[in-house]
A and B are shown apart, each in its own frame.
Chain A
């Protein structure tokens, strides 16, 4: 049998490697390293249709990821989807008339919220509301409209 010092040292190495593996899973594999901490602020936007948007979907400005979707709710009176977005604290100079649209990354990719800054001089703060929104494009609707216009064109 090994003497007790070697045993203790190898057990120590084993535990350290285990902790390092978990640390690597946390930092390198999962998104813990770029999670938005408590320093962010949240804004809401109302959409007629959010398509396949999900909680944790990215929020980007000019293609740069600035935050994520924190919550998706439904307004019982206006029948609109209420999307709460959490934006990192370092991007605190978005104008109040920023508009939000839901786009798809690639043809089959996931959906994300794209923010388009406006010209106002006041900046969005915690609890702000985005008035100008553009719903997700639902592929079936687009195809439906296309077929409809084709059929109309044939009738003439």
Chain B
């Protein structure tokens, strides 16, 4: 009985310690961001590996999500004789929800896991302690540029995802199913508001970018320095990022479009 209680207490303490370390890590991270500015080459290198390498998967998934939306939306709307509104359905669901959320999930899988594995491996091969020994702060040299790259890439990727989705919906709706081209664009323009819909989507994607990069970098930095520990940290990154993105999406949606 006491053993059970002890184990519960132990788990609880471990959990809160992790949460606390995570937040301390975040503040340290914010503090070391200014040191990236004099060294833009570090940031560009990371923008390449975080953003550019995620570009293709975002492009292709955006196109296909848009095409599926076009197909499904058309099948539902045609029953009401409202297939002219297909553009609204596709554009609103993309810029408000699917663009930021799906690209954040893909980003966590494509870039987040890579970040965790990279940092975790650096830790387990003692590159990070080596840096510290040479009086190079790994927080400034390694972590901050990666965080900033995630922060910058995520809104760009989400915008590309939404734009590709709208084009995919256009291909299926107008090209394949015969929705009027003028109606597709004009109804969309009449109903989608730039500040209300597009900018709120951008804000969402910025928040997701911060959260996913934070989780990925922290899991790597906090990983147990063995090959098993790094593997587990990578898994946790994907799972925790997905949960955080979906949960935060609900909160943000409730705040923005109540």
Contacts and interface: CB of A to CB of B under 8 A. Distances in A.
A2 B53 CA distance: 13
B160 A4 contact: no
A7 B194 contact: no
A11 to B, nearest CB: 5
Contact of A15 (B95, B156, B197, B198): B156
Interface string B64-96: 000000000000000010000000000100010
B88 to A, nearest CB: 10
B51 A14 contact: yes
Contact of A28 (B44, B48, B160, B185): B185
Contact of B52 (A14, A28, A35): A14
Interface string A47-61: 000000000101000
A13 B52 CA distance: 9
A58 B192 CA distance: 13
Counting contact residues on chain B (CB < 8 A from A), the size range is 20 to 34
B41 interface: yes
B192 A10 contact: no
A88 B61 CA distance: 40
Interface in A70-109: 108
Interface string B139-170: 00000000000000101110110111010000
Contacts of A2: 48
A8 interface: yes
B188 interface: yes
Given A18-B157, A25-B162, A29-B95, A4 B41 contact: yes
Given A18-B156, A22-B202, A58 B41 contact: no
Contacts of B189: 28-31, 33-34
Contact of A21 (B44, B47, B52, B162): B162
A56 B193 contact: yes
A26 B222 CA distance: 41
A11 B48 contact: yes
Nearest to A6: B48
Interface of A is mostly: helix
Interface of B is mostly: helix
Given A30-B189, A34-B189, A18 B160 contact: yes
A25 B45 contact: no
Contacts of B25: none
A17 interface: yes
Counting contact residues on chain A (CB < 8 A from B), the size range is 20 to 34
Given A8-B44, A11-B52, A31 B159 contact: no
A31 B192 contact: yes
B12 to A, nearest CB: 43
Given A30-B189, A56-B193, A14 B44 contact: no
A32 interface: yes
A29 B188 contact: yes
A25 B198 contact: yes
A138 interface: no
Nearest to B87: A29
A14 B47 contact: yes
A8 B42 CA distance: 11
A129 to B, nearest CB: 27
A31 B95 contact: no
B55 interface: yes
Interface string A128-145: 000000000000000000
Interface in B117-141: none
Contact of A31 (B48, B52, B162, B190): B190
Given A22-B156, A34-B189, A56-B193, 17 more contacts: A4-B44, A4-B45, A7-B48, A11-B51, A14-B51, A15-B47, A17-B55, A17-B156, A18-B155, A22-B163, A25-B95, A29-B163, A30-B189, A30-B192, A30-B194, A31-B190, A31-B192
